[in-house]
Amino acid sequence: MNGPSYEELVNDFWIRAEVYDKEVAKMEEHEKIAEDESLKRKTWAEMGLQEFTRIEIRSDFVGIHITITEEIVAKAARCSNEGKF
């Protein structure tokens, strides 16, 4: 391995990690509307939601919100972020 491994940090991150995709974003939107019908036909920003732009892995660790995207994985793997898959 290259450098120290932070096992506790990695374990805590992945235990709380969630994949945020289009389906989850739509579920969040429907939940907000179910809580308050006046939010129907409002933008995501007006509902207090983050607009969906790409698939992300989200987690919180000691109060810090962490997001991992395809771009971050590609950069860490030192490869291009191009192609279909």
pLDDT tens readout for residues 36-54: 888 888 888 888 888 888 9
Query: What is d(CA 56, CA 1) in angstroms, rounded to the nearest whole number?
Result: 26
Q: Which long-range contacts (CB under 8 A, 24 or more apart) does 31-37 make?
A: none
pLDDT attached to residue 45: 87
For position 5, what pLDDT does the model report?
63
Q: Quote the pLDDT of residue 2.
A: 61
Q: Which parts of the chain register pLDDT below 70?
A: 1-5, 84-85
Determine the straight-line distance between the first and last CA of the chain, rounded to whole angstroms.
27
pTM: 0.67
